[in-house]
Amino acid sequence: MSDIWLIVWVMVVLGAFAYAWRKGYLVRLRAYWDKTMEELYKCTWPTWEELKGSTVVVSISIAMLGLFTVAVDQVFFWVVQIVTKMGAS
């Protein structure tokens, strides 16, 4: 039974490939790939030192944002506790 399903799936894949070939989708996909590679060759990639420096800046920024978020959360937590205690009494 599983051999029949394997044959069915192979036929479906081959049919989809033939359809894409006939409609020109594969040619367009190849053109897209070639243009993408052409644009990537135009890119200037950072040096190892620039990459390390940027990584440090991003890491410090994330840590500072995290600390700020924790601080604001604690302030709101304390304010809500004070307000609920005042309302309960």
| Model pLDDT for residues 25-70, shown as the tens digit of each residue | 889 989 999 999 999 999 998 999 999 999 999 999 999 999 999 9
Q: Where are the domains of the chain?
A: 1-43, 47-89
Asked whether the predicted pLDDT for residue 2 surpasses 90, the reply is no
Q: How far apart are CA 38 and CA 66, in angstroms?
A: 39
**In terms of Cα–Cα distance, which of 82, 60, 78 is closest to 70?**
78
- Which pLDDT score, from 0 to 100, does residue 9 have? 93
Alpha-carbon gap, residue 74 to 89, rounded angstroms: 23
Give the model's confidence band at 20: pLDDT under 50 very low, under 70 low, under 90 confident, else very high: confident
pTM (whole model) above 0.75: no
